[in-house]
Structure 1
């Protein structure tokens, strides 16, 4: 279908109204009256069960000016001046149909738009309001004119809408829609032409800004490449560059690991230094420096130095990685951490373990103690349980002269306790070969008192990575945890269920995975865990942390869909929501369906 077909003149109002009524009552379409793009949209809207009489779009709100809105601002300002005496509204939306901004000089039209909820913060996707210039342009990906009774909802029949998609000029990604809306009585043939030309001007503006950013990034990239012996990467939301030295030095697996590690620095406005344990066994130091185009962040340049044959935490030569009792994982990242902690234990060097909650710091220390001290004494003193006698107990443990003492969550200690603990550690510093002491703490936020007074007593710090940085260990970790949780029963997991688990961000790390598997094991005690056995939080791929209410809603949607074997109509009915709403929930929460 050629592009011109989408913007041909709409049919006369009375014939179109009759065709719409016929379609809504019987499902029959008059192809002589209703244009093909409108036919397709009506069918989609009907399948989504969009209400034809009542408008109820979701209000999603706005979090501040988007990058698209900021780039489009001068273009839309100029257009607003040109249309200052016209009864036309200028509307900009994102790629999901969320209205970002609206400009309209006619108070009467503003009132009509407000009544139709066509205002900032509301969604005008097809699944929300049916056929319209915004949602239908997004679905089709081409400029679309919708006039009068071509709208699926009767409440929009008084409007004429011309929507033109806006694409990124470099990547081609759909960014949003520029929509011009007027009343049907004020509509004319120039509405669509004006919308298309304005969208093209916004794309040109995007190209100019993108070009300036890419030029600034490329300049810094070339400067970094002048240093001999360095692998260099340049990163931005739109591109990745890697110089020949990096491509020749690292195989594909190592390159993928470098890119994954660089994600921790992407978007940072300050320099960052990272250490990456690569699948090949190499250790790479990654120095990230941001690149700017004027005040705007253009991306970043990463210089890569190989620390071949050295441990990333201690700088010691590599040794064979021991088999760690009670732990699972064979990735280079995880084994490097295990090796660093084991090396410290064998040398009697006190160590600090940093990392997010739930990554397994205590489990790692317990495993090393069991490996090197057999059934020897292992005591954990939790800073969250600090009381009047807490320091006395620590003193008794240090005086015992044997075993391992772990100060857990040290970042929670108050100033007085930090000072007292520092004095105790100093007193027993000469007896390090007696009691081995380890500290665990979060990487962020920092406790300045702990950093200043306690860390000097410890020879080095080991960063325990979050689970999302070594997801390849899930192949070993999941069966290991299932074996511990379900002793005596043979409980396995299917490849599809394991693959789904590996798609998730695991913001709660290994502890969150353990809780999930415990819930599954309480329901299925033998056999094979399938995708449908996973709880709601594992059937969605949202990368943001959900509120408790959102988590409950997500789980309810997943449960209803599983019960009704993917039938969205029945699931929506059980939940008391419309079919359009359940589609939006599935999309927003990233719910995965297999039925």
Structure 2
């Protein structure tokens, strides 16, 4: 969009006030008076239920100067000198709209800002105060001017705010906003120009500082790479490096696990030694050493050594994974799970399968039963249907002494049923050589009574990973599902369409993928599925390739949303971010909510 559109001269105050009043009372938008970006912000603010009359932004204690504040300090000091005789406040915020610094030479304006809580520690995200130069610039991602009655909250109508986003000069990530605020009567056209040019100067300063830090980190990384026989990984807040030995030694799932484990050391100024159990069954030792540019922490370097090639749970050499009937997937992550369930079935040891809905827990148990149970008897008892008769059926299954019994979705059981089931399992424990019992449940949220009374009956628990953690299996999984859904017809998928499917986070996991493919197969029964054949939910996703850090962040957001059944407020609270931020992450990562 043309920058001039964002900074064009606002309409006269009376017309804007009338347009705002009309929107707040009837929802009508006057496009001839209200600029398009302000319209969009008003709609967002309305959906977020921002108070139109009272200001009560969240307050957070500031821990100290952030890297952004340190880099911006000389630039803001020079600007403050230039504006020493002007009634303008210079405000720096972080990427969430939290005010980090404020400088203002006019005592009268300072009092107005304090009254509006536009001060260090307060959040000026859109979700807190509605349309404003800080929060709206963060949401739009471009320099934004908000004047007078363009503000959503009436008590901000006396201000003119010009906010310019600050981006990291290397990664492009959004770091914060430089905002210049004055009273409407002192506003002029240069406010936006000055904010934009100052943000650019801060970005240049960031480049200088980050260049020194990254050079120091890279130097230590190269030194660590000189030691033969070890994988090396270097990381900072904006950068991840991994040498060839680490990339060749560890598959993508193991690499992701190493990166996730390294988060326990990241940012530490002291050496740390970590141990990581990897999806492949390997155990890795990670020796972290901090890297400094002068006195400033630049990141850290980790030397990675494989401690053993043994199965981390049994200590035995890893065995060959059998071909699982009715399943598809060859990734190390998926094969490790298949092997664990197959071993449990062969040994007759009762087990628990945990995981998100739709990951394939029942399909995996059914496959192992088909592979190892000569009688073929397989019974699934859904906890959602629990009743006295349900418990009687379980007792009958246990007394048969053959085949497989699965108690599905055990986390849904009530207290009385849990106690009764526990007594049944205890009574028939000596018959484990006959009937094999498995429990399935979600990893989160936990049911404490299930954990206390039922889990002790089962020798171990295996977590089935969500589809987004083994997307490399899509190459096998999609053709497999299409073959089952479209029997008798030849239906394939193009590389471009498959690549697009692999960009999705799949909150509903394999079951969601099956439903999507079923919908496609109902309209196209032969030929090749192309991009245009995919439903809208499969095309509303980010087109860029995510970095490893971004992938971890996306997974954290997805996990929180899954745990809280799509409730964004609760997910944001768990992640320590604002509602505005989690909405932005959902949009940036193309997370499609189907739960």
TM above 0.5? yes
Partner of 1:58: 40
Classify 1:467/1:191 alpha carbon distance in 2 versus 1 (closer, same or farther; 3 Å). Answer: closer
**What is the CA distance between 1:86 and its match in structure 2?**
2.2
* Number of equivalent positions: 474
Partner of 1:275: 277
Contact 2:133 2:144 in 1 (8 A): no
CA distance in 1, matches of 2:405, 2:191: 78
**What is the CA distance between 1:231 and its match in structure 2?**
5.0
Once the two structures are superposed, residues 550-575 of structure 1 have per-residue CA deviations (whole angstroms, 9 ceiling, x without a partner) of x9xxxxxxxxxxxxxxxxxxxxxxxx
* 2:492 matches 1:492: yes
CA distance in 1, matches of 2:585, 2:228: 52
Name the TM-score, length of structure 1 as normaliser: 0.62
CA distance in 2, matches of 1:538, 1:531: 9
Classify 1:335/1:204 alpha carbon distance in 2 versus 1 (closer, same or farther; 3 Å). Answer: same
**Counterparts in 2 of 1:465-544, with a 5 A limit?**
465-541=465-541
Choose which of 260, 266, 288 in structure 1 pairs with 2:256.
260
**What is the CA distance between 1:172 and its match in structure 2?**
6.4
**What is the CA distance between 1:485 and its match in structure 2?**
1.4
Partner of 1:134: 143
Once the two structures are superposed, residues 364-395 of structure 1 have per-residue CA deviations (whole angstroms, 9 ceiling, x without a partner) of 00001011114521111222222233333222
2:278 match: secondary structure: strand
2:540 match: secondary structure: coil
Partner of 1:333: 333
CA distance in 2, matches of 1:522, 1:53: 48
CA distance in 1, matches of 2:240, 2:496: 31
Classify 1:317/1:126 alpha carbon distance in 2 versus 1 (closer, same or farther; 3 Å). Answer: closer
Partner of 1:378: 378
Partner of 1:571: none
**Counterparts in 2 of 1:8-157, with a 5 A limit?**
54-55=34-35, 56-59=38-41, 60=44, 75=73, 86-90=86-90, 92=92, 118-123=132-137, 134=143
**Counterparts in 2 of 1:512-591, with a 5 A limit?**
512-541=512-541, 590=590
1:58 match: secondary structure: helix
Partner of 1:343: 343
RMSD: 5.6
Classify 1:325/1:164 alpha carbon distance in 2 versus 1 (closer, same or farther; 3 Å). Answer: closer
**What is the CA distance between 1:411 and its match in structure 2?**
2.6
Give the greater-gyration-radius structure (CA): 1
**Counterparts in 2 of 1:213-232, with a 5 A limit?**
231=231
Partner of 2:317: 317
* 2:240 matches 1:240: yes
CA distance in 2, matches of 1:214, 1:419: 61
Once the two structures are superposed, residues 208-255 of structure 1 have per-residue CA deviations (whole angstroms, 9 ceiling, x without a partner) of 799899999999x99x99x9987564544312255x7xx54x443726
CA distance in 2, matches of 1:163, 1:297: 30
Partner of 1:559: none
- Structure 2 unaligned regions, length at least 5: 10-29, 46-56, 119-123, 125-129, 146-158, 267-272, 543-553, 567-583
Moved more, 522-531 or 299-308: 299-308
Moved more, 268-277 or 394-403: 268-277
Contact 2:505 2:591 in 1 (8 A): no
Contact 1:96 1:123 in 2 (8 A): no
1:405 match: secondary structure: strand
Name the TM-score, length of structure 2 as normaliser: 0.62
Classify 1:299/1:361 alpha carbon distance in 2 versus 1 (closer, same or farther; 3 Å). Answer: farther
